[in-house]
Amino acid sequence: MQKRDFNISFLVNQSPENIFKAITNVRAWWSEDLKGNSELLNDEFIYQHGEFHYSKHKLIEVNQFTKIVWLTLDSKLTFVKKNDEWNESRLIFEITEVEDNTKLNITHVGLTPHLECYEACSKAWTHYLMNSLIPLIKTGKGQPDLKK
């Protein structure tokens, strides 16, 4: 059986530079309460959604306007038995030009259907990416979790 990591792709009528800048502005599309930095190689940041989700990420690859990779250093998902399911997983953002558009491919390596959190986490990623990151790219305004 083939391992199927969470993956989603978008074609966007924006430059690779604009897409890259939006991805690295994690506060503008995931959470205004983000702790740390999310723009440069070796930056680390923490995302927390109430008592349900804590994760600490490190940018381990940053290729300007083409690719960004986050490594999950630590996680605690309180809604599943194995709270650290995200540990050592990687989120990969790949940006490629396709004719008159730019393709954004996002893969969460390690977030697979065999994990207890897969259904909830894949729905959450789809929500944040479609309803916040893509609008941020297209209009300059995302819908991140608000600062508390």
46 part of a folded domain: yes
The pTM of the whole model exceeds 0.85: yes
Buried-state track 102-112, b at ≥16 Cβ within 10 A, e below 16: bbbebbbbbbb
147 part of a folded domain: no
Distance CA 49, CA 66 (A): 29
Residue 3 has pLDDT above 90, yes or no: no
148 part of a folded domain: no
For the chain, what's the residue count?
148
The domain in which residue 34 lies consists of 7-139
Split into its structural domains, the chain has a count of: 1
Average pLDDT, the chain: 96
pLDDT score at 136 = 98
Q: How confident is the model at residue 21 (pLDDT cuts 50, 70, 90)?
A: very high
38 part of a folded domain: yes
Residue 86 maps to which CATH number?
3.30.530.20
2 part of a folded domain: no
Q: How confident is the model at residue 2 (pLDDT cuts 50, 70, 90)?
A: low
